[in-house]
Amino acid sequence: MPVVRVYEPALCCNTGVCGEDVDQALVTFTADLTALAEQGADVARHNLANDPMAFATDETVRTFLQVAGSDGLPLTTVDGVAVMTGRYPTRDQLARFAGIDVAPAVPAGATLLQVADEPSESSCGCGSTGCC
């Protein structure tokens, strides 16, 4: 399974979802990352303020910071290869990076309906003369 890591700029707490001015992008990203981890994906995030050793010990991240600086964060890596910079990946992107299928789950007890083909003129129900 691919190893997905997201390296974030220095945030006030591990998730960045704290304080009075909560960034909706961070709320969404936190939920997306949690959902994929619950499906078994090997995903994790590292905050520069709280986990600087993760930045210092990964050569890809260290090189990225030398070139782009922390202004280029967040940085997403898959198996040590940089795949996205400057923004957080969406749930679909994270799932693709992690090799997880995120097909929408069908709630228990729901009935799936089939979509009928478009009727042709001869099958509209009005007989052999075509549609009424």
Mention every residue, 6+ apart, whose C-beta is less than 8 A from residue 118.
none
pLDDT tens per residue, range 12-70: 876 667 777 778 888 899 999 999 999 999 999 999 999 999 999 999 999 999 999 99
Bridge-based pairing state of the strands 81-85 and 3-8: unpaired
Q: Please, what are the domains in the chain?
A: 3-98 (3.40.30.10)
pTM of the model: 0.74
Number of Cβ atoms within 10 Å of the Cβ of 70: 15
CA distance 89 to 83: 10
pLDDT tens per residue, range 91-129: 999 999 999 986 666 666 777 677 766 655 555 556 566
